[in-house]
Amino acid sequence: MEKKTFKLSSPRAMLYMDIKNNYKSFQLIIRNGWAIKFSVYRGENILLIFTSTFTCQTVVRYFTNEDEAVDFINYITAQNPQEEIEA
């Protein structure tokens, strides 16, 4: 398989390098029947992904405020993972 290369000045290469240097993804954790994955971009953009280990319902939310993200994590983990939720 041929490896693709980008010109350093191409917009795609610049975007790739920006994401590579400013993106952090953390290991999947399981709490109260919810698989939780979160990522941070540039220290201020937070992406949360929750998946019920029972129903496979997935909830994805984006936050720019860390306190709101923590409140939402607490809200989801307090829900019953065996029932579908409106989030």
The tens digit of pLDDT for each residue in 41-78 reads 998 899 999 999 999 999 999 999 999 999 999 999 99
Structure tokens at 6: 């980008």
pLDDT at residue 8 tops 90: no
What are the φ/ψ torsions at residue 72 (nearest 5 degrees)?
-70, -40
Distance from C-alpha of 46 to C-alpha of 27, rounded to nearest angstrom: 14
Tokens 């994590």 sit at which residue?
Answer: 73
Distance from C-alpha of 76 to C-alpha of 87, rounded to nearest angstrom: 8
Whole-prediction pTM value? 0.77
Confidence at 36, pLDDT banded by 50, 70, 90: very high
pLDDT at residue 6 tops 60: no
Instruction: Specify the higher pLDDT residue, 46 or 14.
Output: 46
